[in-house]
Amino acid sequence: MASLKFSHSNGNPFAVTRHVTPRSTRPTRIGFKIFASDNHSEPDLSVCVNGLQMPNPFVIGSGPPGTNYTVMKRAFDEGWGAVIAKTVSLDAAKVINVTPRYARLRAGANGSAKGQIIGWENIELISDRPLETMLKEFKQLKKEYPDRILIASIMEEYNKAGWEELIDRVEQTGIDAIEVNFSCPHGMPERKMGAAVGQDCALLEEVCGWINAKATVPVWAKMTPNITDITMPARVALSSGCEGVAAINTIMSVMGISLDTLRPEP
């Protein structure tokens, strides 16, 4: 491999010498070396995580880019190594997404159009599409892209049978791993879903026990940042059988409120 080397020669710190180096030599910043290679082959970016062989380590996080078959297919077509689909639950009928799904908070006078934006609130919920529709699309994606990693993100109420049914149904589609949503701050906390579990280590340990006793694919627990010490639930998830943790979900904020109508201002 031909290379150029910047070296301190004859007292001149900018002298340039040309030499041939073995192909096994790796580029380094030490000694001001700069390598110019005529080898134009693609680098090997493949990785293996929890037994999942990915063509590269770039993964689409659960959210709008994993909403449906079309956008997930596009991600694979553009070269992403893995996609984590938008979170699904057994009953999508209880989910009502709105548009727009972001609200801003400005400094200064409430509602001032000139005030600096100091906060963003994400009010996006989990998938509001029927579970059967999402499962059908998971199966189609795995059929078309068997070499890519598809990860199902799931969230369910505080119900062992419900978790077991959801895991069984998503695994039947051929997905490669499961991400458990313990992080969504809008995940119907009154039903003990989402961050309501991720913020309660005792509850988290119990639910992780149910999940890992049922799942046959790797399980990653998605952590919430809205907690004093994120390492506590992360350790609980790992000690309860999860292969890994994913971080993070929405950071909570507040939004502007119209003082005339008392309505939020997304």
Q: How far apart are CA 33 and CA 7, in angstroms?
A: 8
The number of C-alpha atoms within 13 Å of 159 and in the hemisphere containing its C-beta is: 10
DSSP three-state, residue 46: coil
- Indicate the pTM of the whole model: 0.81
Architecture of domain 47-95+126-255: Alpha-Beta Barrel (3.20)
Other CB atoms closer than 10 Å to residue 246's CB: what's the count? 23
Query: Where are the domains positioned within the chain?
Result: 47-95+126-255
Residue with tokens 């993100």: 153
Cβ atoms within 10 Å, residue 69: 16
Distance (Å, whole) CA 214 – CA 251: 30
pLDDT value for 58? 96
Q: How far is CA 169 from the centre of its chain?
A: 21
Position 37 scores a pLDDT of 53
Q: Please measure the distance between the N-terminal and C-terminal CA atoms of the chain and give it in whole angstroms.
A: 57
CA–CA dist 125, 110 (Å, integer): 26
Supply the DSSP symbol for 176. S
DSSP letters spanning 112-166: -TTSPEEEEEE---S--S-HHHHHHHHHHHHHH-TTSEEEEEE---S-HHHHHHH
| DSSP single-letter state for residue 228 | S
Residue bearing tokens 């505080």: 158
Enumerate residues 6+ apart whose C-beta is below 8 A from 10.
none
Residues with active-site annotation: 184
Residues 6+ apart with CB under 8 A from 73: 141, 144, 145
The rounded average pLDDT for each run of 10 residues, N- to C-terminus, in the chain (266 residues) is 42 41 40 50 92 95 96 97 97 90 78 79 92 98 96 97 98 98 89 95 98 98 96 98 94 84 81
Residue 110's pLDDT is 57
